Each structure stands twice: as C-alpha cells, then as structure tokens.
Amino acid sequence: MEWLGNPLMRWLKAAGVAFVAAGMLYVLRGIALRYLNRLAERTVNRIDDIVAGTLSRTSLLAIIAVSCYIAGHYLMFGKRVDRVLNIGLAVAFSIQFAIWLQTFITLSLDEWRTRHNDKRNHASMAATIRFVSRLIIWTLVTLFIASNLGLRLDAVITGLGIGGVAAALAVQSVLGDLFASLSIYFDRPFEIGDFVIVDEYLGVVEQVGLRSTRVRALSGEQVVFPNADLSRSRIRNYGRMFERRIVFKLGVTYQSSPEQLEAIPGIVRAAVEAQEHTRFDRCHFFQYGDFSLNFEIVYFVLSPDYNAYMDVQQAINLQIFRNFAANKIDFAYPTQTLYHQPLSFREGSAPSPASR
C-alpha cells in the first residue's frame, strides 16, 4: 500500500521520527528553561530572566514544523514537495524568530522601565520603541516570506517606497512630533516633574507623549505642546537649578550722609547672612538716580525652591527696613523739587528785555 509514492511502513517510520523529534525538542526547551530559571535565582542581573522569558515564547507550531521537516527526509517526494517543505520551514522559523526578537525587546523595555523606577517618564518612549521595532521586524519577516514564496520584491519595494513617500507627506506633522519625542527623550532637556518655562508659558511637566508634552500651568490649566514645536523652543528648566542667584536694588534719598551710605553695605550683608541657606556676594553703591542714590545687591539662595527664595527675600527686606529705621536712613521714592524765585519790579517801571 502506497500513498504519494511512499509505502505505509515508510510513512509510519517518518511519523515516528517526527513524534520523537517533537518530543525531544519540547523536552530540551523545558530543560533549558529550568536551567535559566535556576540561574536567574542565583544572579543579580536580569539578562538571564529576559532570555528565559524569550525562550518560553517558543511556539508549538515551530516545534511541529521542525519535526515535520526532519521526518520529511525519510520520505521520497518530488522536487515540488521538497520545496514546499523548505518554504514551510523557512516561514515557521521566520515567524518564530520574530516572536523571539519581539519578546526580547518587550522584556528588555520592561526591565529598563523598572530599573529607572519611573514608569510614567519612560512609558511613552518604551511604547515608541516597541511600536517601531514591531513594525520593522514584521515588515522584514513579511518580505522574507514573500521572497521564499517566489514573489518579485523589486516591484513590492518600489510600491512600498512610493506609498511610504505619500504616507510620509500625509502624516508629516505626526512623524515630526514622533521623532521630536525621540529627540526629547535622548537629549533629556527636562524630566517629569520639572518646572519649565517655554516662551510665555510656565508650569510643571506632567507627561511626555508620542505626539505632545503636557505641562500643568501655575494657574491650574494644562498646556499641551506639540513635541516638534517644543524641540525648536528655548526651554528654561528650573528643575535642574541647584541654587538661585538674586539681584535686587534699593535707593536712598540724596539727603543721606556719607557715613550712612558707607554703612549700607554692612547692613545689607548682615541681613543676608542672618538667613539660613544663603551666600552673600556683593553690595555696591553703583548709581546716581533721578531721585535716589541706588545700591545693587547680589546674593545666592542655596535651594532651587521658589517658596524658600521668597521666604528668604521677605526676611531680608524686613531686616533691612528695621536697620535703616534704626540708622535713620530714608528710602527714596519718586519726588520733584521746584525752586520758585519771584520777580520784583519797581513801581511804574517796565521789566527790562533781559528779564522778560
């Protein structure tokens, strides 16, 4: 009794070989997984966990395909059937390789997010990498399978190129925002929670997405920036400020004595140094103003917190006010002094031309 040119005993032998090969491959997969899991329990790094998770995604379909390919060598077929077996093995291996690679990338991204302890900050970038990697992997697998099926790839590639250009022009702004999000992530101009100023907008970064970045403004509303616009903007990031440089001015009246003017730098210095987390830099009498003698003061608050800065500035202002009052130094404010000299004429005489 024959079927497809092979006797029954040969079919039974091939079936036995396929069954044994499938069993051996399945057992080998289990042994490798148990070894990797035991190794993962004894090591600190996570690479063996990722490899074990990748290997666990070995599909039963791939094992059956390999087993059938091995068993096919015990049967006598024509060239067409042998080609079908070769194509089937290539397709199964391509799909399995794509599953392995995709699983490896996914597990690596999950480990990367866990290691940074900030899933919100890296979730958008992980989603971008996962999407792009899947698109590339399955596109290459599809092209490889099409090549093995005998399709002409030159026409396919040409069509993909023309379609890709048309699609890129249609979604140009979306692609610009997508690549800008990659630029923002790798360049890291800010992080989630940083206080930033972009043009006239200011607030705390809440989320960096694939297309836009969301900032919570001080007045409460959420401001959404397209990533492409944000990557071209000048960003002032106060979240990375280590200390704050403060420059302010005060003016005293022109009626102040030289001794009072000489005492002002010491008064200001004492007021600044009396506060915690400050560093005095300088205080100079630098300008004769229109109605005041002006001093410029520079000091540093050793904290980036804005509320802490305002508390320190308020304490300094109050201390200066008290010390100026104790030393009878008057603050200047806009004033004008008019000098009026009345003209006197002799009775019955007209004013001279020079006095007109």
245-285 pLDDT, tens digit each: 999 999 999 999 999 999 999 999 999 999 999 999 999 99
pLDDT score of 58: 78
| Least confident range of 4-13, 89-98, 151-160 | 151-160
Contact by Cβ (8 Å): 234, 307: no
Q: What is the pTM of this model?
A: 0.51
Greater confidence (230 vs 254) lies with: 254
Greater confidence (180 vs 349) lies with: 180
pLDDT bucket at 334, cuts 50 / 70 / 90 = confident
Whole-number Å distance between alpha carbons of 71 and 60? 16
pLDDT bucket at 160, cuts 50 / 70 / 90 = low
Long-range CB contacts for residues 216-225, cutoff 8 Å, separation at least 24: 225/198, 225/201
What is the H or E stretch that residue 44 is in?
none
pLDDT bucket at 239, cuts 50 / 70 / 90 = confident
Angle at the Cα of 40 from the Cα atoms of 35 and 42, rounded to 5 degrees: 100
Q: Give the residue-averaged pLDDT of 14-32.
A: 81
Tokens of 67: 């087993």
pLDDT reading at 233 higher than 70: yes
Whole-number Å distance between alpha carbons of 19 and 34? 23
pLDDT score of 159: 61
Contact by Cβ (8 Å): 204, 195: yes
pLDDT score of 265: 96
Q: What percent of the chain has pLDDT over 90?
A: 24
Whole-number Å distance between alpha carbons of 197 and 82? 67
Contact by Cβ (8 Å): 47, 53: no
pLDDT bucket at 318, cuts 50 / 70 / 90 = very high
* Nearest in space to 299 (alpha carbons), one of 269, 263, 324: 269
- List Cα–Cα distances, 184 to 124, 132, 209, in angstroms: 11, 17, 10
Q: Give the residue-averaged pLDDT of 16-27.
A: 81
> Residue 280 class from Cβ within 10 Å (0-12 exposed, 13-18 middle, 19+ buried)?
middle
53-70 pLDDT, tens digit each: 787 777 777 777 778 777
The DSSP annotation for 171-240 comes to THHHHHHHHHHHHHHHH-S--TT-EEEETTEEEEEEEE-SSEEEEEETTS-EEEEEHHHHHTS-EEEGGG
Place of tokens 């070989």: 17
